[in-house]
Chain A
């Protein structure tokens, strides 16, 4: 069964304290892995798509990496405005079009 597991559930950082969020996945044929950011009361906001192992994408203080079993979202020198829930999701390349989401990691960055 396709599955996406994110860890930790919650992460508290001081401003400037770099860290990583993990997304482990099991899927029968990966078409793409996605990272989203979700602020309270809003819909998720698209960040990155990764398609193959070894691929990396960067945007400001965020960098996403992908292996055959997991993805990491690295946050360098975070700021309080980076506080949000970060969602990981996978899309299969066969048998349907639904994207399967993880439960998310809630990130809190304190000034």
Chain B
């Protein structure tokens, strides 16, 4: 597609439920990144994919967080047993070389 697409754009979930966030990168972009942005704060790195492998998972905050990617296409970020501190905007970005193209993010609210 023309840009990076994320879905859903908004998600409200109850504490303890699992959620799945989706990212469709720009076609042909081999690198894909997930970041988290809490209200009024900077971007926090979560995970990086090159193709469908993840050479850097160092930013995943706990084992409740996992991500996968199918080939050089769609990625899903799964948060199990959500907690209130998981509330944030989750941003996905893709790139070919340097300089990311970001999606508009998924705003997750855990109540």
Contacts and interface: CB of A to CB of B under 8 A. Distances in A.
A58 to B, nearest CB: 16
Interface residues of B, number: 25
Main secondary structure of the interface of B (DSSP, over half): strand
Contacts, number: 59
A98 B58 contact: yes
Contacts of A42: 104-105
Given A43-B4, A43-B91, A44-B43, A99 B104 contact: no
A49 B42 contact: no
Contacts of B91: 43-44
B58 A87 contact: no
Given A87-B43, A101-B43, A43 B102 contact: yes
A32 B31 CA distance: 16
A28 to B, nearest CB: 15
A99 B45 contact: yes
Contacts of A32: 98
B59 A99 contact: no
B1 interface: no
Given A43-B104, A44-B102, A98 B48 contact: yes
A43 B50 contact: no
Interface in A24-74: 31-32, 34, 36, 41-46, 49
B18 to A, nearest CB: 24
Given A42-B104, A103-B42, A96 B99 contact: no
17 contacts: A34-B98, A34-B99, A34-B100, A46-B100, A87-B42, A87-B43, A91-B98, A96-B58, A97-B48, A97-B56, A98-B45, A98-B58, A98-B59, A99-B100, A100-B45, A101-B44, A102-B42
Interface of B: 4, 31, 33, 35, 41-45, 48, 50, 55-56, 58-59, 91, 93, 98-105
5 tightest Cβ-Cβ pairs between the two chains A and B: A43-B102, A103-B42, A101-B43, A98-B45, A101-B42
